[in-house]
Chains A and B, each alone.
Chain A
Amino acid sequence: MPSVGRNGPPFPQTEGADLYASSCQACHMPDGAGATGAATYPALAKDPRLKAKALPITRVLNGSKAMPAFKGVLTDAQIAAVVGYVRTHFDNHYSDKVSGDDVKVLRQ
């Protein structure tokens, strides 16, 4: 679990939208469209890979290639909130709930 330092947790936000803004949209962009330069940040909008919640949860926990792992800086509840947000926004319509326990079982 993330350690809480003198200045509070690394990401103080609790709501999915706020967590997306503070930790995801740096790369995946405010509209989830991703971006391409010398390489690509994948779009999260209209993304069929989000159907099974385990994939985005695992990505956020462990990272992938240049994407950093967030397991050290986000709690289970925060990851559940932000994954739930992405799966129900940006033209994604996967409404089955993501819970902190879903994250907990996938956290190594």
Chain B
Amino acid sequence: MTTPDVMKRRDLFRMIGLFAGSAAMYNAMSTLGFAADSQYTGPIRLSGAPAGTKVVVLGAGWAGLVAALELRDAGYQVQVLDYNDRIGGRAWTLRGGDVYTELGGETQRCEFDPGLYINPGPWRIPYHHRGYLAYAKRFNVTLEPFIMVNYNAYVHSNQYFDGKPRRFREVQADFHGHVAELLAKAAHKERLDDALTREDQEMLLEALRSWGALDENFAYGANMSSAERRGYEINKGGGLMPPPMPSTPISLQDLLRSGLWSSLNPGQIHQWQSTIFQPVGGMDSTPKAVGKSIAELITFNAKVKAIRQDERGVTVSYVDAHSGQDPRQVRADWCVCTIPLSILSQIDLNVGAPMQAGINSISYESAVKTGLQMKRRFWEEDDAIYGGITFTDLPISHIAYPNTAYNKPGKGVLLGTFAFGEKALTLTGMSPAMRVKKAVEYGAQIHPQYATEYENGISVAWHRVPGALGCAAAWNSALMAQHYRNLAEIDGRIILAGDHVSRGLSGWQEGAILSSLDAVTRLHKRIING
């Protein structure tokens, strides 16, 4: 057996990469201090724009807002175009009364009660997304905790435990406990002698006993020690209530075969570690607050058809997004283009071959979210689940509980589907009504209360969102190596920004913010220095 300190770091990375792909590789590099936490370095405070210099910013999502705000503050003349009729792009919130028409023409009207909402796009702000947090603070947006790991939420496999959900705390305690017991056995049988000194093994054994809730014989079983982790059969009480009784662990074989252990991991990944935030009232709160100060610069319902640059400037041609008529043009000295590559790859654009090759090479991820209004907050009242996420191998993939208004009477909205990949693509192919119906059917396998408590729902499939045509750019390391720099460099008078021009932050608001801060800083320097 090889000890970590004699294993070359390169070999360790290779091994992790083989097992779990590039995401794990990045996470491992973060852990060992090779990758930075956040590259936000504070407000950029550009100044000294040459008089009368005009920049056209395409897109009023996070990247466009940041570019417009910072360039306007630097003294540039700024005009913003956006396809949507609202600010924020994918940072979007659906509330009662909102009407949404997806590609294909199906229109949904959100029937949620006042105060209830879903965030169809991004919904989590990690503590280390410091660019986002800085803008939220600067524009007085109130944040509240987003619960990523809820020990009392469920992990669920449709094919194991008779399809009955298990509590996160049970699965985590039992998985840790069994693994600790196995490792303790190996130590006792002198199987770790090649790796550790006897003294270190003694310390390891104590650590395993504590970490795994093992008993005095280094065994994991039904006792008060494991009950303190996985929960009690009869919980603690007062007076003459019955005394507490321990609960019975799930076997290691069942845990391994069911795959429930895999749901323990997301909350340990850097981008999902506590503390995570959400803006009070909906994800659109922050872009709306940022956008208020530049509202007069934005033209909505503008569908960009062409972006043509010459030696002196850039001409952007656009039409009305709804009618396709009323062609107009904007002429500017420079262009910051934040249009997603799913759309930009179809726009008439004269950039160099390397940037165009990058634009044409990135596919877009699939994602579906479905919100379900329930007559009462049964997940709290019946199941003691306050916020957080249930993980399931059903096509809905997640059920997420509202991280606000805890313990209040009345209705609530669940996120009844949050699916990615092939599951999302298949759900996207269904009508919105069918997606909602499926969310209710599948969810009822975990929460039977759906049958009586469900009232109405709304579903957003990102490949059907008219202003996005996909969830986020699907980068991988090979594409990164080939195209990333070519997309990020200034091409003549055009620079791209957005979460698609970020390293490892595709689909994250922070990716859009950092990309935009970097883009306008470099553009400003180019303009000033020539």
Contact = CB atoms under 8 A, between A and B. Distances in A.
Contact of B474 (A36, A38, A39, A68): A68
Contacts of B469: 27, 37-39, 41, 66
Interface string B407-432: 00000000000000110011011000
A22 B363 contact: no
Contacts of A10: 421-422
Interface string B134-154: 000000000000000000000
Contact of A65 (B103, B345, B428, B465): B345
Given A35-B104, A65-B360, A68-B364, A26 B428 contact: yes
12 contacts: A6-B259, A21-B426, A22-B426, A22-B429, A26-B463, A27-B463, A27-B464, A35-B103, A35-B105, A37-B469, A38-B339, A38-B343
A82 B303 CA distance: 33
Interface string A1-45: 000001100110000000001111111011000011111110000
Contacts of A41: 103, 469
B422 A73 contact: yes
B6 to A, nearest CB: 32
Contacts of A7: 159, 259, 393
Interface of B is mostly: loop
Contacts of A30: 104, 429
Shortest Cβ-Cβ A-B pairs, 3 listed: A37-B466, A26-B428, A66-B342
Interface string B438-478: 00000000000000000000000101111111100010000
B422 A38 contact: no
B393 A67 contact: no
Interface size class of B (residues with CB under 8 A): 35 or more
Contacts of A6: 259
A17 to B, nearest CB: 12
Interface centre among A25, A27, A29, A69 (most CB of B within 10 A): A27
Contacts of B345: 39, 65-66
Contacts of A29: 103-104
Nearest to B421: A10
B426 A39 contact: no
A66 B363 contact: yes
Interface string B170-207: 00000000000000000000000000000000000000
